Chains A and B, each alone.
Chain A
């Protein structure tokens, strides 16, 4: 595969840094597509708002959005943004929070089903009325920022499947074999490897507890994982042994963004590909809004926002691909099979 150089955006990056002076920027409310665009005339807003929750890390960062799918605290969120779900909490209706219990990960859909511990009564979204599949140009709305704002946009492309190229961490490796392991030649900007502090010249010795014998072996180990998985690296820097944990991302995400071209977007999801079916839309959402529900203007739940891909692209999973799988999981969790007692 050949990746063409995005000439202008690199130049653009330079001019951006030169011109990053103070700028008058409208608040979201002033912009024509902010909350005020919908105004109070939309009777569905209160329902939209209470449907969404935030998944919050121990340090207070919002990791993703979530949508309530059962009155007794069942929720869905984006799996790859939350590898350690039970260390996080769910926050909703302003300041209410609860601990989380992980029920099932669905790697094919990048969803995780969880339950807010001790929550008895929440307004939840029923995705069973999400048919028919919406079409090009149709308005959609999503609650964002924990429900404090509603944003609108349109279906902007044809629904389709997004093939996956597997996970990556954003490293280029030296093919030349050396005794200790594999030498890193370069690190992609804003990549999992960069976030973990890896540098060119580091020598990988182990990846996920397995010896990093050569380039091929490293690729094979990585390929056995999913984007979003945490992987431990052991490496040598200036002869000293070190370890780091990296969270793998989609290979497409890293290749499209090798030199940090994402500057005019505001973040890309860890996993952006390998979905059986998606709706593409232009809602102004961020990475932390993934996991939030998506409605049409009639108030029908159409799907779940699943990947922020680039400045113009967000993918949502249509309700038809996940709802029939989620219902039985919730039922089974509510009524665990009783082991039959011997007579």
Chain B
């Protein structure tokens, strides 16, 4: 029997009520299911060798190698602090050494480096298109629940994205202790999340999205620990938006001194696209903004009456008094 699990954190969700943005029940046909099966079965042999088990002291967790020199994405509650030595179990059972780099405790993202950087490590790509993940998308989770078990192999779970927030994804790919730090893939075989927390129900499985990794990449590579959202808190536009009755993203209010005001946005403007991404929901828009770092310039396609124009806005960090 293998090591007993290093646990997943159990979600301490903000507030007591979790409003689940459940997408409309999709009627998947047999053809859709077979298509998903075929994708997963094609991808699995390609990606599974990049999934590792991580052993720290008494615990065991998971991780995924994302480049040839052995950089690993995992969860911050696995890494705990920079510079920690750990043992990494490869898919074939071989045990190698690694060390923790930086981590983002606010979102549960962390990096680990394998010590032997000369070797070409099996690895997978991760998705930089954070905002393209939508509720209802198919995905699959891999990991070593309960610890590495060679007879069993890596454990696969196939499911759908239920919810997408600024820093996390919720899916119905069931997770448990030992899965922490393991990868969630889209059907292109790219990592879109890292297993982080569970709640009691079976569809309450939380994954860190790629947003915190992308935002704080340099800090984490440089062994920094992010405790709160400072500069890493994501972009700020300063406009209240919502979906109007016609299903368009409408600017309701523009805050004084905000980037939105500087760019000349007005209440009543309709935002149609962010860069090349058509906007379908208010949360998709605000998540896309928050997933970008402060200082980044974005282009918005804005409709005012009959006039459509492209506006460039430089995002800032969220003002301190504007909590929540």
Interface residues of A (CB under 8 A from B): 1, 3-13, 15-16, 18-19, 21-26, 29-34, 36-42, 135-139, 152-158, 160, 165, 252, 256, 261, 263-266, 280, 282, 284, 297, 310-313
In the bound assembly, the distance between CA atoms of A40 and B23 in angstroms comes to 19
Q: What residue in chain A is nearest B61 (Cβ atoms)?
A: A8
**Contacting B40 at CB < 8 Å: which of A11, A154, A158?**
A154
Using A6-B4, A157-B155, A282-B174 as known contacts, say yes or no to A13 and B59 having CB atoms under 8 A apart: no
B20 near A311: Cβ-Cβ < 8 Å: no
- B33: CB under 8 A from chain A? yes
Q: Chain A residue with minimal CB distance to B13? A: A19
Q: Is the CB of A312 within 8 A of B17?
A: no
A156→B157 contact, CB < 8 A: yes
Query: Which residues of B (1-32) have their CB < 8 Å from a CB of A?
Result: 1, 3-13, 16-20, 22-23, 25-30
What are 6 residue pairs bridging A and B, where the CB atoms are less than 8 Å apart in the complex? A8-B10, A12-B8, A19-B12, A33-B172, A39-B27, A139-B34
**Could you tell me if A297 and B34 are in contact, using CB atoms closer than 8 angstroms?**
yes
A137-B40, A156-B155 known; A32+B58 contact, CB < 8 A: no
A36 is contacted by which of B25, B30, B59, B145 (Cβ under 8 Å)?
B25
Tell me whether A137 and B145 are in contact in the complex, defined as CB-CB below 8 angstroms, given that A7-B7, A24-B19, A32-B162 are known contacts: no
**How far is A280 from B22 in the complex, measured between Cα atoms in Å?**
28
A265 to B, closest residue via Cβ: B176
CB distance from A172 to the nearest CB of B (A): 17
Once the chains are docked, how many angstroms separate the CA of A297 from the CA of B180? 31
- Contact A32:B152 (CB < 8 A) given known A3-B4, A7-B58, A282-B157: no
B20 and A1 form a contact (CB under 8 A): no
Of B120-128, B198-206, B265-273, the one contacting chain A is B198-206
B37 touches A137 (CB 8 A): yes
| Interchain CB contact under 8 A, B202 and A284 | yes
Decide: B34 and A4 in contact? CB cutoff 8 A.
no
Most buried by B among A7, A38, A263: A7
Question: CA separation between A282 and B158, bound complex, in Å?
Answer: 8
A4 surroundings in chain B (CB, below 8 A): 3-4, 58-60
How far, in angstroms, from A138 to B44 measured CA to CA in the complex? 12
For A5, the chain B residues whose CB sits under 8 A away are 4, 58
Assuming A8-B7, A156-B156, is B176 touching A312 (CB within 8 A)?
A: yes
Contacts of B177 in A (CB 8 A): 6, 8-9, 261
A298 vs chain B, min Cβ distance (A): 9
CA distance in complex: A67, B162 (Å): 33
Is B156 touching A264 in the complex (CB atoms < 8 A)?
Answer: no
A253 to B33, CA, bound (A): 33
Select one of B10, B146, B203 contacting A31, CB under 8 A: B203
Most buried by A among B6, B60, B202: B202
With both chains docked as a complex, state the minimum distance between the C-beta of A254 and any C-beta of chain B, in angstroms: 13
Distance of B121 from chain A, by nearest CB (Å)? 23
- Shortest C-beta distance, B79 to chain A (Å), equals 13
Q: Is the CB of A37 within 8 A of B4?
A: no
Q: Which residues of B are interface residues toward A (Cβ below 8 A)?
A: 1, 3-13, 16-20, 22-23, 25-30, 33-34, 36-37, 40-41, 44, 58-60, 77, 136, 145-146, 151-160, 162, 172-177, 179-180, 198-203
Q: How far is the CB of A15 from chain B (nearest CB, A)?
A: 5
Given A8-B180, A312-B176: 19 more A-B contacts, CB < 8 Å: A1-B1, A3-B4, A4-B59, A8-B10, A13-B10, A19-B13, A24-B17, A25-B201, A26-B203, A37-B26, A41-B29, A41-B30, A154-B40, A157-B152, A157-B153, A284-B202, A311-B145, A312-B157, A313-B145
Our count of residue pairs bridging A and B at CB distance below 8 angstroms stands at 187
- Residue among B136, B154, B180 having the largest count of chain A Cβ atoms under 10 Å: B154
When the two chains form their complex, are residues B41 and A32 in contact, meaning their CB atoms are under 8 A apart? Answer: no
Which of A25, A152, A165: most chain B Cβ within 10 A?
A: A25
Residues from chain B with a CB closer than 8 A to the CB of A3 are 4
Instruction: Give the residue of A7, A19, A139 whose beta carbon is less than 8 angstroms from that of B16.
Output: A19
Q: Which of B44, B162, B174 contacts A137 (CB 8 A)?
A: B44
Q: Is the CB of A158 within 8 A of B151?
A: yes
Which of B16, B25, B59, B158 touches A154 (beta carbons < 8 Å)?
A: B158
Contact at B7–A24, with CB atoms within 8 Å?
A: no
Report the Cα distance A33→B171, complex, angstroms.
11
| A264 and B199 in contact, given A32-B25, A153-B158, A156-B155 (Cβ under 8 angstroms) | yes
B1 A158 Cβ-Cβ under 8 A: no
Complex-state Cα separation, A264 to B179, whole angstroms:
14
User: Which residues does chain A contribute within 8 Å of B8, judged by CB atoms?
Assistant: 8-9, 12
Could you say which residues of chain B place their CB within 8 Å of the CB of A284? Answer: 174, 202
Whether the pair B22, A30 counts as a contact (CB closer than 8 A) is yes
Name the A residues within 8 Å of B159 (CB-CB): 32-33
List residues of chain B with CB within 8 A of the CB of A252: 1
Verify B9–A8 contact, CB threshold 8 A: yes
Q: Which residues of B contact A19 (CB under 8 A)?
A: 11-13, 16
Which residues of chain A have C-beta atoms less than 8 A from B26's C-beta?
32, 36-37
Do A282 and B152 touch (CB < 8 A)?
A: no
From residue A246, how far is it (CB to closest CB) to chain B in Å? 23
* Nearest neighbor of A266 in chain B, beta-carbon distance: B202
Give B50 Cβ to nearest chain A Cβ, in Å.
16
Smallest Cβ-Cβ distance to B4: which chain A residue: A4
Q: Could you tell me the distance between the alpha carbons of A147 and B147 in the complex, rounded to whole angstroms?
A: 34
Q: Which residues of A contact B200 (CB under 8 A)?
A: 16, 263-264
A265 CA to B204 CA, complexed, in Å: 11
Nearest CB of A to B132, in Å: 18
CB within 8 Å for A38 and B28 given contacts A24-B17, A156-B156: yes
Cβ contact of B25, chosen from A6, A15, A30, A312, cutoff 8 A: A30
Task: Name, among B3, B152, B162, B199, the residue most crowded by chain A CB atoms within 10 Å (CB to CB).
Answer: B152
A41, B44: Cα distance in complex, Å:
27
Q: In the complex, which residues of chain A have a beta carbon less than 8 angstroms from the beta carbon of B23?
A: 32
Contact indicator B145/A312 (Cβ below 8 Å): yes
* Contact partners of A11 in chain B: CB under 8 A: 7, 10
